[in-house]
Amino acid sequence: MSVPRLAAGLAVAGVGLWYLAAVFVPGEGAAAPPAAFTSSAQCRECHATVYAEWERSQHAYSWNNPATRFLSNDFANHDCIDCHASRPVFVTGIGERVLPREERRVEGVDCISCHELPDGGMAGTIADPRAACRPVERIELVRPEFCAGCHNQHKTVDQWRESAWPARGMDCLACHMPFRGGDPNAGRDHTFLGGNDLAMLRRAVTLAGRREGETWVAEIENVGAGHAFPTDERSRTADLFWRPLPAAGAEPGPWRFLHRIRDPYRTETDLPITLLYSGERRPLPIADPEARGAIEVALFYKRSPYWEDPSAPDPEREAILVHRIRLEP
Amino acid sequence: MKPLPPFAVLPLLLAALAACGDEVPPAPAPAPFPLRAVVDAELAALDRALAAEEGPARGEPADVEQVHGLLEMLASATGAMREIARQEASGLGDPAVSELARVLADPDAKLAIRVSAVEVLGAIDTPRAAAVLLARMEDPEPLVRAHAAWRLGQGAQGWVVPGLVLRLKYEKDHETVVWIAGALARFGNFAGLGGLETVAATAPGEAVRASAGARIAEILAATSFPDLAALAAEWRRGDPGRRLPAPPSSPRTDREVWRLLSRLREFQLRGVDDARWVVSALDRRAAELTARALHDSEVKTRVHAAQCLERMGPRASVAVDELLAGLAEPFLAPHAADALGAIGDPRAAAPLAALLDPPAGYGLRLAAIRALGRLDADVPGAARDRLRSLFAASETPEVRQAAAESLVRLGEGGDEAVLALADLLVSRAVEPVSSEAVLREHLARRAEAGDEAARGALAEWDARALATDRILAPGEAEASRAARREIVRKLVGGGE
């Protein structure tokens, strides 16, 4: 190669590199991106608010949750791993069932699970080439199909599709990832509130009662969930109990079981599916002769279907009280 | 002169770079791992091959009255009369199967008649009759299920093994478990030994425990093994000494396996888990077919097929070559590494050692580090050195943990690696369960070698193990792990 030709080549290459640097390299304020994302903790530096929200969420807890560990036999039940420590959704495909990952399982469903792209880049709802992770805009992030790979394993997304909620423009994010303070400019909340939040539980269903002759009829209605109540994991259980109201000053007796709302495990072939679907109202007569006077009825929610002593459950200690009503003649 | 627009510089830049560059030989491409629709093609071929056999029932339709008469006689007669009825019934053949199936499915039919129908179907012993019996393994009546399992075990339809294994997963009736396990053993599948042992030891009711004990005695006598543990170990090792009865192999059995493998791509994990559970409990032939499924164009099939092979362990040694090739397929590779570790074949050592560093992806590197620890004496010295340096470098807590676990398993890490694992028990940055297992193995190994202090530590360790029969209270797991960390630290001299 001749020296002039080499010099010309180098000169043109220099100009070209200057051009590329000016156009594509972020200016001051943008940190260098990591070579590879090996932990969601890497996201914390720039996204402290989101990270703190996620850290409190069930997604962050999906691997270490004691109930999950117990119910999955410490993940010896392999089919739980796919969703509880999934590969990135963008890698396995939107709407496709997710696959399990080898690494950072302890972080559960983390930033990388939802935001990492097949090329190792990051997806966001807004593109920002000046941010360290250079997010590109991927609108799929806000669509129900994005959640479906995991959350339709127990038909939650199908339940939503069959409800009146899509027609109202209410999707997964509307309830579970609302804008912070209702302000679209503030970004979406990443605590993913659901059955773990008492206020949401209370909004999901109403509990009422009426008299039919001598019999009380409790009535539960799914008014606020765009899917069944409860939904998703089969372990989630809502139980209705009743008991006679004691005379003034007396201690109330033990709660008496009335009705269970749940999708049984596949091995519980002798149990019916009793989920309360979106918009469904379910009357529950209380035929016990002791229920003819004043009674109270309560709805309890649990993340496990098991009571410590099935013959004498103690819902006030073992479950979350969602609603409680007094019915007096 | 008009200045050039910025984009015009690009072609010049490229031209200049091209002019300057000398030719660089391209990097060698990794060995291709061909993908194709394996499962669909295999299933279609077997369906075609078996279609002729599975046409409509041959012969005249059975005389319904004759069938019912024989069922009544079987249900009520004894001695020679009953034997005559049984022989006549077995001659009914396939034409009677549909009527017998109808009787069995009739919830209003007397139980004794339904059980007789099971007996007749067992005596007919054709694929069609066996398919009806297999379907009745979901009958609500336990007696029907137990009899169906027994009759299937007496027959010659070895292709029912996968179906029986699936029923083991869901069966709650102890007597039925006993007969399923017995039937499987007759077909050379020993997946039911654990259930049999549990029933024999813990089932309520002396009769069912005795029944399980009798089946165990039969199985041990038939296989010439001294005890269930030795038999189970031989089964898990893949019967290297060929001491077990050869499982039946036939196109029909293969088709059952392919049907299971076709479920691995389903969206709902329920079906996937069933299929994975069954395939993992099958024999070497199933491992061979599963190894072929590693080439399926559907990624879920590939990944879950590798998981099946991992769970088979050494019984899947026939799949080692395909798994090694699968290390080149990005989606499959970490799962192939897991499977190679579980199989424990020495051929995997060098290929896994080559994956300890980038450009192997992070997940694949972790899987390779962990897998090497399971290969025991076969790991080359250079790989052991690299594991030590990965442990020392602390690239991430996960890499350090994986390296420490492998070093302890290989007897290489000394007290430093043992202490590191003990400390990681209380770290929130890693999953502690694998470290717990490795530490317990370490204590047990030392105790077995006569180390009295380790024996004591092991007893303490087990006393502080996590409860597995209930949901742990908040902080309970952490407290248990903190206590066990101290047990280990005290033993190896790192404690206060």
User: Which residues, at least 6 apart from B171, have a Cβ–Cβ distance to it below 8 Å?
Assistant: B145, B177, B180
Residue of A nearest to B468 (CA): A70
pTM for the whole structure:
0.87
Q: Do B20 and A6 touch (CB under 8 A)?
A: yes
Q: What is the mean pLDDT of residues B298-302?
A: 97
Q: What is the pLDDT of residue B23?
A: 42
Residue of A nearest to B472 (CA): A66
Res. B55: pLDDT tops 80: no
Chain A residues within an 8 Å CB radius of B270: 79, 266
Which one is predicted more confidently, B386 or A73? B386
Q: What is the pLDDT of residue B87?
A: 85
Q: What is the pLDDT of residue A247?
A: 86
Chain B residues within an 8 Å CB radius of A69: 472, 477
DSSP E strands: which ranges in A41-192?
123-124, 136-137
Q: What is the pLDDT of residue B329?
A: 96
- Which value does ipTM take for this structure? 0.82
Instruction: Answer whether B386's CB lies under 8 Å from B353's CB.
Output: yes
CA B145 remoteness from chain centre:
24
Q: What is the pLDDT of residue A3?
A: 56
Residue of A nearest to B272 (CA): A79
**Nearest Cα residue to A50 out of A157, A153, A131:** A131
Confidence of residue B418 (pLDDT cuts 50, 70, 90): very high
Q: Tokens 């032939």 label which residue? A: B285
pLDDT in tens, B148-160: 999 999 999 999 9
Tell me, letter by letter, the H, E, C secondary structure of A241-259: EEEECCCCCCCCCCCEEEE
Distance in angstroms (rounded) separating the CA atoms of residues B108 and B422: 62
Amino acid identity, position B327: L
Instruction: Answer whether B364's CB lies under 8 Å from B333's CB.
Output: yes
With residue A301 as reference, give the H or E element that holds it.
strand A295-302
| Partner-chain residue, chosen from A36, A71, A103, that has the shortest CB–CB distance to B398 | A103
Q: What is the pLDDT of residue A269?
A: 77
Q: What is the pLDDT of residue B66?
A: 87
Instruction: Answer whether B281's CB lies under 8 Å from B313's CB.
Output: no
| Partner-chain residue, chosen from B16, B19, B272, that has the shortest CB–CB distance to A79 | B272
Q: What is the pLDDT of residue A68?
A: 87
CA A55 remoteness from chain centre:
13
Q: Do B273 and A38 touch (CB under 8 A)?
A: no
Six token digits for residue B370 = 């962990």
Six token digits for residue B417 = 């690696």
Q: What is the pLDDT of residue A248?
A: 85
Residue of A nearest to B140 (CA): A270
Q: Tokens 């992806």 label which residue? A: B361
**Strand A136-137 versus strand A320-327 pairing type:** unpaired
Calculate what percentage of chain B has a pLDDT beyond 70. Answer: 92
| Partner-chain residue, chosen from A10, A103, A106, that has the shortest CB–CB distance to B362 | A103
Confidence of residue B132 (pLDDT cuts 50, 70, 90): very high
Distance in angstroms (rounded) separating the CA atoms of residues B347 and B324: 9
Residue of B nearest to A268 (CA): B170
Amino acid identity, position B128: R
Chain A residues within an 8 Å CB radius of B13: 12-13, 15-17, 19
pLDDT along chain A (329 residues), means of 10: 59 56 46 70 93 96 89 81 95 94 95 95 92 93 96 95 96 96 94 94 98 96 98 92 92 95 86 96 96 96 92 95 96
Q: What is the pLDDT of residue B472?
A: 86
Q: Do A70 and B429 touch (CB under 8 A)?
A: no
Q: What is the pLDDT of residue A22?
A: 44
Q: Do B13 and A17 touch (CB under 8 A)?
A: yes
Confidence of residue B240 (pLDDT cuts 50, 70, 90): confident
pLDDT in tens, B178-212: 999 999 999 999 999 999 999 999 999 999 999 99
| Partner-chain residue, chosen from B276, B367, B471, that has the shortest CB–CB distance to A78 | B276
| Partner-chain residue, chosen from A12, A96, A153, that has the shortest CB–CB distance to B12 | A12
Q: Do B366 and A82 touch (CB under 8 A)?
A: no
